[in-house]
Amino acid sequence: MSNRSQTGWLASRFPIAASFRRQYLDFAMPRNLNYLWNFGAFLTIALVFLVVSGIFLAINYTPTITSAFSSVEKIDRAIASGWFIRSLHIGGVSMLFAALYIHIARSLYYGSYKAPRELVWITGLCLLILVMLAAFAGYILPWGQMSFWGATVVINALKALPLVGTPLSNWLLGDSSLGDVALHRFFILHFVTAFAIIGIVTLHVATLHVVGPNNPAGIEPRRPEATLPFHPYYTTKDGLGLCLFLMIYAGLIFFLPDILTLASNYVEANPLVTPRDIMPEWYFSPFYAILRAVPSKLGGLLLASGSVLLLFFTPWLDRSPIRSARHRPRMRWALRGAFLAFILLGLAGSRPLTEGWLWISRAATIYWYAYFLLVLPLLPRIENPNAMSSIQDTHCL
């Protein structure tokens, strides 16, 4: 049998190569995509680095309160290239969250959550929640001061939930206090969640390939000339973006490692000594600011979790027929205010609690909720529908 006939026989019974070419190399993409569409590739690379480095770290980690801190110190100081693998992991978390937040902001700005892409949006938000869960569980594992006290704050907040709060916190602890059982469970949760993220990413990409990507104009391509194959046009564009992404990644690892984590987490956890200021990592700061902006533990927890859950309803809260904020001047300014509110919450959550930052947190929280619950539903009633239809006619791709 000739090589060509062998290839044809294999392709007819296991057509993975043809499917890959159709779905990834020849996949039709709108020709007007900008560099904000590169962040999906950035997320994929950051996730690969995190999973691979996490497996190597898990080999040398001991999930007990007597050995966890020393095992991490051993990775940093005694194991060949251990410091690099750990820095790769810590830096990868920051790069993943940065790319994920920008990816979501881009989707909000260009209306990528609207029909027919609701499932793409929902799977992306599920990915965000799983990443946050994995990052929280992973942050506890080094068993430093901030790891211990950060976990204590979150578990105490969970106890405020009616009916399910106490059973859930007791299940996480597995004991009367944060100890060996809890640390082991967080280790398993961190590891399992990481592989669940891979499954959600696969589902996210699959839903995207069913409906196709959005574009900056927010209008579906109507002619073949308005599209380009993914390869070589967007593989080249993604490759250039990845070079810049990896340069920043390398800069964080080799030149600015201290900004990736808090100094107090290099001190072993001591339940008898409470840090002066309990601070989360930067990617949790906005939600921590909301949590402490409310005097009630239950109220703070509901508002902090609701600030993410609110995003799931965005496709139905925004009833405008126009996707992209490019063509919606009022929405553009309102959305910039929401982005500013999120940034202010991040700054407030990473600062000691003072009267000024407390009121900034409250004002930013109010605006964040007002944007999704009031501005998005009411704005289409103010906008000119005739102007909207003319946009569809003059900007068709």
Q: List binding-site positions for a ubiquinone.
A: 209
Is residue 247 exposed (0-12), middle (13-18) or buried (19+ Cβ within 10 Å)? exposed
CA 180 to CA 200: how far, in whole Å? Answer: 30
CA 256 to CA 239: how far, in whole Å? Answer: 24
Q: Which amino acid is at 333?
A: W
CA–CA distance from 275 to each of 69, 182, 366, 376 (Å)?
A: 17, 21, 30, 41
CA 198 to CA 327: how far, in whole Å? Answer: 35
285 contacts: CB under 8 Å, gap ≥ 6: 279, 345, 346, 347, 348, 349, 350
Cβ 212 vs Cβ 28: under 8 Å:
yes
| Annotated binding-site positions | 89, 103, 190, 204, 209
Closest CA to 143 of 172, 174, 184: 184
| Annotated binding-site positions for heme b | 89, 103, 190, 204
Is residue 112 exposed (0-12), middle (13-18) or buried (19+ Cβ within 10 Å)? buried
What is residue 227's three-state secondary structure?
A: strand
Tokens of 189: 């949760």
